[in-house]
Amino acid sequence: MDCVVTGGNVKVLAKAIHSLSRIGDELYVEPQEDGLALRSVNSSRSAYACFLFAPLFFSRYTIPSGHVFRCKMAIKSVQAVFRSLASLEKTVEKCHIELDEQKDRLTFTLHCKHGLLKTHNLSFQDSESLQAVFDKDSCANIFRAQPRLLVDTVVHFPPSLEEVTVAVSDERMWVRNHVDEDTEQSKAMLTELCLASDEFDHFAVQAHNSVTFCLKELRGLLVFAESTGLPISMYFDEPGSPVVLSVTDSVLEGNFVLATLSDDPNHRKNNTRRAHSPPPPPPDDFMNDDIDSYLIAMDTSIAPGPSATGPPTPPLAESTYSKQPAAANHRTRIHSEEEEEEETSDSDRPPNKKFCSLFFGSVLPPSSQMSTQPVTSQEVLASDSEDDT
């Protein structure tokens, strides 16, 4: 592999690498006939990003015919090559990327002004092809906007915010911070912005849905799009399906595929209703014990009066009569069985943050095996995204 990047494209390449660093800790490099592919994925397989640079992006792009080369390396080591983004455009005239097969090194050589050369020999590991499975063109909702619109939108959210929710109607898009169910509403700060359809270059809605995804990866793509001036396209269907953020130019294409939360508000209502439904009755051999203990508690604790002829007290009220000595022998059994039922109902509930993985089949087999091995999707319970290191 022998690639040469010149002029302002050096800064574009550097910005792409810095955007990929928002996704994962490793950079996957795969030279192809249709261009150089740079990819990254986070450890939980809930965020994936790929930049494909066409051969016209380079002043020279040659790859050996009949030889497939794929590698991965620490993305921080590649970031160190393009450390100072502000001075790249002023001082670097071209960047030469070459594969040294004898030393198993990927060499980045920066040709600076006044004949100064900066050479970085980076070690790598062989890897299989990394590819997410998604079809953005089949999504029901498609939007395209200038990066400044989205930059001005997310600037209202604090840097510590992890997730945002995007909801759409025929003429509006709402962007708000995501608040967990466990958070007290009185202590949560809610921020919501409304964007009209005429603020977008393209606004097509076929399904009125809302999706929740990580804000960190969106910020990374916005930095790249703002520096290059490329519009951002957004594609999504329903909660649980991945949202795709894309930038496209004649010589490059970037796709960020992000997992979304599957427990949208509608699903939460169903889950809450199901969680509060009474648990299934216990087996018959325990039924008689529960009834006996219940009757003993009733006989020993309820004073005679008008309330004694009322409807039976619900089982949750049995603990209020636990001070009576006649029911002491049955207290432990009653509480233990109630705890077991509560644990059973809790285990049936879905987790609060259930991300449907894009993927993916995370690392796919070589192309020769793709026709014989079908791609299967899997669900991953993951944190929102990895913290910046």
pLDDT tens-digit readout, 308-329: 444 444 444 343 333 344 344 4
- Same-domain check for residues 96 and 164: no
Residue 248 lies in a domain: yes
Give the CATH number of the domain where residue 218 resides: 3.70.10.10
- Same-domain check for residues 6 and 102: yes
Burial class (CB in 10 A: 0-12, 13-18, 19+), 362: middle
- Same-domain check for residues 110 and 190: no
Instruction: Band the pLDDT of 100: cuts 50, 70, 90.
Output: confident
- Picking from 225, 241, 265, the residue at the C-terminal end of a domain is 265
At residue 256, the pLDDT reads 95
pLDDT tens-digit readout, 232-247: 999 999 898 899 999 9
- Same-domain check for residues 115 and 212: no
- Picking from 265, 283, 318, the residue at the C-terminal end of a domain is 265
Model pTM?
0.68
- Same-domain check for residues 41 and 74: yes
- Same-domain check for residues 113 and 147: no
At residue 370, the pLDDT reads 41
What does the angle CA 31 – CA 23 – CA 143 come to, to the nearest 5 degrees? 90
Residue 310 lies in a domain: no
- Same-domain check for residues 160 and 196: yes
Burial class (CB in 10 A: 0-12, 13-18, 19+), 190: exposed
Total domains in the fold of the chain: 2
- Same-domain check for residues 165 and 252: yes
At residue 97, the pLDDT reads 94
Q: And the tokens for 100? A: 């040294």
- Same-domain check for residues 114 and 188: no
Residue 332 lies in a domain: no
Whole domain around residue 14: which residue ranges?
2-126
At residue 137, the pLDDT reads 85
Residue 359 lies in a domain: no
- Check if the beta carbon of residue 165 is closer than 8 Å to that of residue 215: no
- Same-domain check for residues 40 and 97: yes
Residue 36 lies in a domain: yes
pLDDT tens-digit readout, 10-31: 999 999 999 999 999 999 999 9
Percent of the chain with pLDDT over 70: 66
pLDDT tens-digit readout, 320-376: 333 344 344 444 444 444 444 444 444 444 444 555 444 444 344 444 444 434 444
- Same-domain check for residues 176 and 114: no
Residue 356 lies in a domain: no
- Check if the beta carbon of residue 282 is closer than 8 Å to that of residue 339: no
- Picking from 265, 292, 313, the residue at the C-terminal end of a domain is 265
Residue 278 lies in a domain: no
At residue 347, the pLDDT reads 44
Tell whether the model's pLDDT for residue 306 goes beyond 70.
Answer: no
pLDDT tens-digit readout, 120-175: 999 998 888 787 778 888 899 999 999 999 999 999 988 888 899 999 999 999 99
Residue 35 lies in a domain: yes
- Same-domain check for residues 104 and 166: no
Average pLDDT for 52-81:
90
For CA atoms 224, 211, 388, 24, the dihedral sign is negative
Q: Which amino acid is at 381?
A: L
For CA atoms 298, 304, 309, 313, the dihedral sign is negative
Instruction: Band the pLDDT of 263: cuts 50, 70, 90.
Output: low
